[in-house]
Amino acid sequence: DTEVTQTPKHLVMGMTNKKSLKCEQHMGHRAMYWYKQKAKKPPELMFVYSYEKLSINESVPSRFSPECPNSSLLNLHLHALQPEDSALYLCASSRPPNEQFFGPGTRLTVL
């Protein structure tokens, strides 16, 4: 099973809302990733968790808060976002140095 699932598929939120994105994988991968992708751009790395510990934070604003409750789950908590945060948010997992497997993404719109 090479599937990474993400919920929700679409999310519309106001700037004062708090919401969470969820990601799950059952491939036994110990590295999990959050990416942000704007239209017509490549994915941009936000966070990496390795063995459930945050190993890379690409200077992401604190209004994005990642969480890795266990080896299969990855969350991204959103609070006080700005309209420019509207994007496709992709989750991925891997067994480095092998390829990353991506989920279908959450299309986020911030009003």
Partner 1 sequence: AQKVTQAQTEISVVEKEDVTLDCVYETRDTTYYLFWYKQPPSGELVFLIRRNSFDEQNEISGRYSWNFQKSTSSFNFTITASQVVDSAVYFCALSSGGYQKVTFGTGTKLQVIP
Residues near partner 1, by CB under 8 A:
31, 33, 40-43, 45, 48, 50, 55-56, 88, 90, 92, 96-105, 107
DSSP states of 41-86: S--EEEEEEETTEEEEE-S--TTEEEEEEETTEEEEEEES--GGG-
By C-beta, is 1 or 16 nearer to partner 1?
1
By C-beta, is 55 or 109 nearer to partner 1?
55
Q: How far is the CB of 48 from partner 1 (least distance, A)?
A: 5
By C-beta, is 18 or 51 nearer to partner 1?
51
**Cα dist. 106→21, 53, 83, 97 in Å?**
8, 23, 15, 25
